[in-house]
Amino acid sequence: MSGFAVCGMNGAEKSAVAKSLANSLGLRLLDIEDYCFFPADPPFSVQRTK
């Protein structure tokens, strides 16, 4: 397996499932939120630009 995608609604624990699955399969986790938002408090309040 070269990779997988986990999709779902807000609050559906996608990140937890993806992290567990990636660890089990020995794959690297790429979370789209890390590419769309800067770390901030509160989370996801500072969107990245182009």
pLDDT of residue 36: 83
pLDDT of residue 43: 78
3-state secondary structure (DSSP) of residue 37 = strand
What is the token pair recorded at 27? 């794959």
pLDDT of residue 41: 87
Q: C-alpha angle 29/31/33, rounded to 5°?
A: 165
pLDDT one-digit tens code per residue, 5-23: 999 998 899 999 999 999 9
Which residues are CB-neighbours of 22 under 8 A, at least 6 positions away? 28, 29
pLDDT one-digit tens code per residue, 19-37: 999 999 999 999 888 888 8
**C-alpha distances in angstroms, 1 versus 16, 20, 24?**
20, 16, 12
